[in-house]
Amino acid sequence: MEFELARALPILTRTPRVIGELLLESPEEWTAARNDPDTWSAYDVVGHLIHGERTDWMPRARRILEKGRSVPFDTFDRTAQFVESRGKSLADLLAEFAELRATNLRDLEALRLSESDMRREGMHPELGVVTMGQLLATWVAHDLNHIGQVVEVMARQYREAVGPWRAYLDILG
Amino acid sequence: MEFELARALPILTRTPRVIGELLLESPEEWTAARNDPDTWSAYDVVGHLIHGERTDWMPRARRILEKGRSVPFDTFDRTAQFVESRGKSLADLLAEFAELRATNLRDLEALRLSESDMRREGMHPELGVVTMGQLLATWVAHDLNHIGQVVEVMARQYREAVGPWRAYLDILG
């Protein structure tokens, strides 16, 4: 499917609500659980999404509009949440994510990007030349990827509890 | 994590809302999309979840209580939705799923299952002896598995659109 802003916005708009429904009233055994010490919990994922709202998507979109390929994007810190989320409850993080996302989508709409803007190019520090459309498509796929990560880490808490049904449930690994 | 009904109920209760938020206002390009002709769309998944509410989870729980291991569960039809969903809109299916789930959870609570009930055994037609606790843990993991399946099939519609970012997004395969 080609990237088209009108099709992407419904997904981006609702991700905070999807994640909120999944997590907000869930016992901490689900939301703080990890598969092993190196993987992320649902709580960690929400912190990561917040960091993306602050430093990744809209700042990079603006960089493309202002500097094109001449100034690469700032590097994204994939583990910033381990410092930034400290002392915050999951409910705090979910509210912060929802608010940042809403602001970012208002700012995105205010840019009134045209179809030709979607072909404007920027410079990713590792991946090289990328387009505005690719950046925004990645925002959507990244949301869906992390929803998938959250349900996977939650499901795996029942890897033993399901007994022989494990054979039918790919998500349990 | 051990199965405990009080920890499972919040997940089972909210799955219809999670899936509703993901899908209800999403353009059909997302909800009807498949990865290839043999995989399921989000629409197909909701039909499958409905069939589970009707024929799998609570009927099997009752079979365990009434017949123990003496009468195996009825076989579950994994493709029933391709007939049963015909002519129904996604909004119809989401409403039907939410209603069936709410009824089933009321019925489950009415059974007032004790901890020892969780060890009661039934007979799965393929997997052999299973317990009530395993059945109910599987209900939860099955929900999470299919939420994961929905976000995966949606994300994959942008496999090309994300350009070089594909390298960072496991969900795109």
pLDDT tens readout for residues A145-154: 999 999 999 9
Nearest CA to B124 out of A154, A160, A166 is that of A166
Question: Looking at residue B104, what is its pLDDT?
Answer: 98
Interface of B with A in 18-47 (CB under 8 A): 18, 21-22, 25-27, 29-30, 33
Direct distance between the N- and C-terminal alpha carbons of chain A, in angstroms, rounded to an integer = 29
pLDDT tens readout for residues B118-143: 999 999 999 999 999 999 999 999 99
pTM for the model: 0.96
Question: Looking at residue B78, what is its pLDDT?
Answer: 84
A55 vs B: CB within 8 A: no
Q: Scanning every residue of chain A, which has its alpha carbon at the shortest distance from the alpha carbon of B127?
A: A164
Tokens for A162, please give them: 């399901």
Are residues B134 and A163, on separate chains, in Cβ contact within 8 Å? Answer: yes
Average pLDDT, chain B: 95
Nearest CA to A76 out of A56, A96, A104, A47 is that of A56
- For residue A134, the distance in angstroms to the closest alpha carbon of chain B comes to 4
Query: What is the enclosing helix (H) or strand (E) of A7?
Result: helix A5-23
Nearest CA to A53 out of A98, A22, A109, A113 is that of A98
